[in-house]
Amino acid sequence: MRRRTSPACAGHGHATPGRPRARTRRATSCVRPGERLVEAQLIERFGVSRFNIRLALQDLSGEGLVEIHRNRGAQVRKISLAETIEITQVRMVLEGLVAAQAAERVTDAEASELDEIGLLMRRAVESGEHRRYSDLNHRLHGLVRAIAGHATADRLIGTLRAQLARHQFMLSLLPGRPQQSLPQHERIITAIRERDPAGAEAAMREHIASVIEVLRSLEENGERL
């Protein structure tokens, strides 16, 4: 079976701008869970010192993205479907809170931007551009967090999403998943645009609950992402 490559991996053949920690984080999304992160290769790829790479790996270990073993180095941590479900349950609560706050704070310009993303998402589904839809999905959730301006929730969600980056991308490619999630995203957009905090929170929680349902069905069927 051909290995799928997430959009986050594009352009990783050469050094990219950004801090060592951020660049090393991006590198982990391009490596299979359980595979080693070789310091020498990271140093060559990003053009930074061994000290900075080790600091970055220690940070990522603290976030649950990397495991560091004595005498064996670092590897991308494997996250089971059961743990993925637990993490997504926590995300559901946090992102519901963020959506509610976004509905309280949204400006007319931000509401228009949400509408534009929603339109682009519909076009992507209609044209079968699932990778494009995945990118827009990420953009929409990021904009909702930016509108909300809840720094603590944003930080925690960022850590949780980073742990699930590979699972989220693979979920977006499941047959029928974009068609299922599009109306959910549209309800989130509508509630925020109408400045309805309770409706926005309910719509966001409903959306992420549907992700949990898909994950549970995969777990029950013994499938793997």
What tens digit of pLDDT does each residue of 165-194 get? 666 666 766 778 899 999 999 999 999 999
- For the cut 60, the answer to whether the pLDDT of residue 1 exceeds it is no
Tell me the pTM. Answer: 0.71
* Helices and strands: H and E segment counts in the chain: 10, 3
Which one, of 177, 158, 142, lies nearest residue 87 by Cα? Answer: 158
In angstroms, the Cα distances linking 78 to 82, 89, 112, 185 are: 12, 18, 39, 29
- CA-based R_g, the chain, Å: 18
Give the chain's mean pLDDT.
Answer: 82
Q: How many CA atoms lie within 13 A of 40 on its CB side?
A: 0
Tokens of 149: 């301006």
